Structures are given as C-alpha cells and as structure tokens.
Structure 1
Amino acid sequence: MDKTKVLEKYLPPDAAPLISRWIDYFKCEFKISRSRNSKFGDYRPPFQGKGHRISVNHNLNPYAFLVTTVHEFAHLHTWNQHQHKVRPHGNEWKLNFKAMMQPFFEKNVFPPDITHAITAYLNNPGASSCSDLNLYRTLRAYDVVKESVTTVEKLPLNVLFKLKDGRVFRKGEQLRKRFRCTEVSTKRIYLFSPVAEVEWIKD
C-alpha cells in the first residue's frame, strides 16, 4: 500500500505527504508500534548495520501522533548533525524540532490551542516535550473519551485506583509535581505523574 495512504490513517491528512517524504529522505525505518505506557515514540540511531529507526504508538490521536513523529525526526536530524555530542533534548534538538514543525504550522494542521502549547514549551529552555504537562494535556483533549479511564490528578484524595496490570493504589498527597500513592497489597510508596492514566475504583 502507498506509504502516504497508510500514514493518513494516523496523521492529519495534510501532514502525511511530508512525513512520507522525510521517511525516504532520511532513509528511516518507520514503524507504527503497539501502545507503550512509558513513551509515545522512540528514535534509535544507526547501529550494527541498521539505519535510523523511529517508532510511534498506533493509538495516539492524529495531532499527538504528528507531534511525536516530528519529535523523533528532530532527534534523527540532530544525530546526523552531532551524533552523541549533544544532550537529547538540548538546544540543538529544540532548534531542529521548531524548524521541522514550521511546515505544519504554515499549513494550519494544528488547532490554535495545540500550536500555542507547542510554541510555549519550545520557548522554555527547561522543558522537554516528554514532560511538558501543558502540551500533554492539550493533546489529550483530542483523544477519544474512554469512560473507564481518568488521570491521577483528576481523582479525589484517598480513593483507590487500578493500573492496566491490575495493581491497586490509594491516592495520596501531591509532592511537588508527582502524587505519592500507596500500593494496597504491598504498602509500598510510588510517585505518579499527574497525567498517568488509571481506572478509578468506585465504591
């Protein structure tokens, strides 16, 4: 099947042709991956005869899929320029991300709130897109609503919630950016991101 047609299933249609050209230009193996809780996408540099490899989770909404894809291509471009001599989300990567996002801004691919969120975090040298909660929340607003799923920050204090693997926790107080939660069966303490997706166990 034509690469652009496949990408149109996951990306905003106006974005698919350019991403298709990037895959060819950078000679990149581009994989649409299973869902991963720990990350939306991944970039692997050339190694042992393998070329550039990018993977992006299949279940992201089109805007999140595009932001993640450009994020990973910016890593690829930065590696081509500097190899391992710069920080993964350092200024070199930020400049490439911003430049590679520009064609999609010009095509008005994103709604205004996402454009604003991307611009805001790129103007903040201390933020990376992996940890920028404002950008994450803005992108999540375009997800298909799943009634059984919520985020830790939306839960009341002291209620129980469950992870996909079945483990049950009680929500505790917020410590700086994360929530201190107790696993019910082991009494061990874990720190949860405010935007971690969980299932609320209601009485």
Structure 2
Amino acid sequence: MPPEAAPLIGRWIDHFKCEFKISRNRGTKFGDYRPPFDGKGHRISVNYDLNAYAFLVTTVHEFAHLYTWNQHQHKVRPHGAEWKENFKKMMQPFFEKNVFPNDVQQAITKYLNNPAASSCSDLNLYRSLRRYDPPKESATTVEKLPVNTLFKLKDGRVFRKGEKLRKRFKCVEVNTRRVYLFSPVAEVELVEAAS
C-alpha cells in the first residue's frame, strides 16, 4: 500500500483487534472480511498482487465491513446504506493525506456517490486503478479485442468475441458453443486476431 497510508491501517488493525492477512490471488475477489465467529476475532484478507492503490481501496472496503458489523452485526445488508456511509468516512483520511494520484482520487470520489459491492463493477474506478499495475506481456482485456477475435482464459478455455450487449460482451466458447457475457475489463490472452 502507499507508505503514507500504512500507519493508519496499522492503527485500525490494533484498534479493532483484527487479523489482517495478505492472501494469494483469488480470481473471484480482491479481499474478504469475516466477522468474529467460533472464538476467532475479525479477519480481513487482501490479495497480495494488487497495486498499492487497489490494495488500499480494497483494505478500506473490508474495514468498512468490520466497522459496520461492530455497529449493527447482521441486522443490515452487507453493502447497504450503513456500509456505504462507513466506507466514505473511512476513505476520507486518505484523501486528506493526498495518498492517491489525481486520476484515482477523482474516480474514487465519483464511485463514493454510490459505492458497489466491488470496485471492479465501477469500470471508471477499475480502469484508473489498473493504470498503476505493472505491465503484463500476454494479457489484454476483452474490450481491446476486435469482434470475432479468439481469446483464452487462464483455465485454457477458448472464446470468440461477439458484439457488446449494454455493458458486457457476448462471447461464445469455441468447444461447447455456449454463450457467456464478459466484462469489458476481463483479462484474457489473445489466441488469434479477427479475420
């Protein structure tokens, strides 16, 4: 995370008596919060391979869950109004310290008008954060590929890119002919350019 953010996160870990774990990459999520259960206290995990700014946004997201749980336990929705308000409040000190670059801060500010369950669902914020990722040689995103291009996922499945339907791209798995909808920012590997 950005060095100037670490002291406050360290204080939160101590104050909330939280087990904070840096986790392996989980393809389906960037972070996770677990409330106290079965003798264990609060637990937060964040993926190790996020860039510093994405790591911090994810960490604050999870601490907002912890804070909301302390206030309401299971009486409110996980990403309801109470969590949204806490997320905004907990993000504020990092704005005051100018921790984020301007483009990321603007994207977060816009996102905070109505934060979602995942920062990935806000394409503007996701793209802003991704600009600070180290470059990857073979990876690209679905939105950058021309229609009819073949691409594959990490698991080896191959797809043909189709047209955009509102927010997602309709793609057909080559082997099964099944149709899947892909986020424009889904990371894929080019197999064959469109012909």
Which amino acid in 1 is paired with 2:49?
Answer: N
**How many residues get paired?**
193
From 82, 101, 109, the counterpart of 2:99:
109
Which of residues 10, 19, 32 is equivalent to 2:22?
A: 32
Q: Kindly, what percent of the aligned residue pairs are identical?
A: 80
Aligned to 1:131: 121
5+ residue gaps, structure 1, are 1-10
* Contact kept? 2:116, 2:122, Cα under 8 Å: no
- The answer to whether 1:95 aligns with 2:85 is yes
Using the size of structure 1 for normalisation, the TM-score is 0.91
Alpha-carbon contact 2:79-2:116 (below 8 Å) kept: no
Counterpart for residue 182 of structure 1? 172
Distance 2:55 2:45 in 1: 10
Q: Distance in 1 between matches of 2:26 and 2:115?
A: 27
CA RMSD of aligned residues (A): 1.4
Distance 1:193 1:150, change over 3 A: same
The answer to whether the aligner puts 1:167 opposite 2:157 as a matched pair is: yes
1:48-87 aligned at under 5 Å gives the runs 48-87=38-77
Whole-angstrom distance in 1 between the partners of 2:159 and 2:29:
22
Match of 1:14 in 2: 4
Residues 130-183 of structure 1: per-residue CA shift (max 9 Å, x gap)? 411111111001111112101111111110101111111111111121111111
SS of residue matched to 1:85? coil
Q: Distance in 2 between matches of 1:19 and 1:77?
A: 13
CA 1:39–1:105 in structure 2 vs 1: closer, same or farther (change >3 Å)? same
Q: For 1:202, which of 171, 192, 195 is the aligned residue?
A: 192
**Is contact 1:91-1:125 (8 Å) kept?**
no
Q: Residue by residue, what CA displacement relative to the aligned partner does 1:68-97 show, whole Å, maximum 9, x if unpaired?
A: 000000011011111122122121111111
Deviations 1:86-135 (A, max 9, x none): 12212111111111111111111001111111110111367853411111
| Candidates 123, 128, 141, aligned match of 2:131 | 141
The one-letter amino acid paired with 1:69 is: T
Q: Under a length normalisation based on structure 2, what TM-score does the superposition of the two structures give?
A: 0.94
Letter in 1 for 2:32: D
66-75 vs 179-188, greater mean Cα deviation: 179-188
Query: What is the match of residue 154 of structure 1?
Result: 144
Distance 1:45 1:130, change over 3 A: farther
> 1:112–1:96: structure 2 CA closer, same or farther, 3 Å change rule?
same
Is the contact between residue 149 and residue 199 of structure 1 (CA under 8 Å) also seen in structure 2?
yes
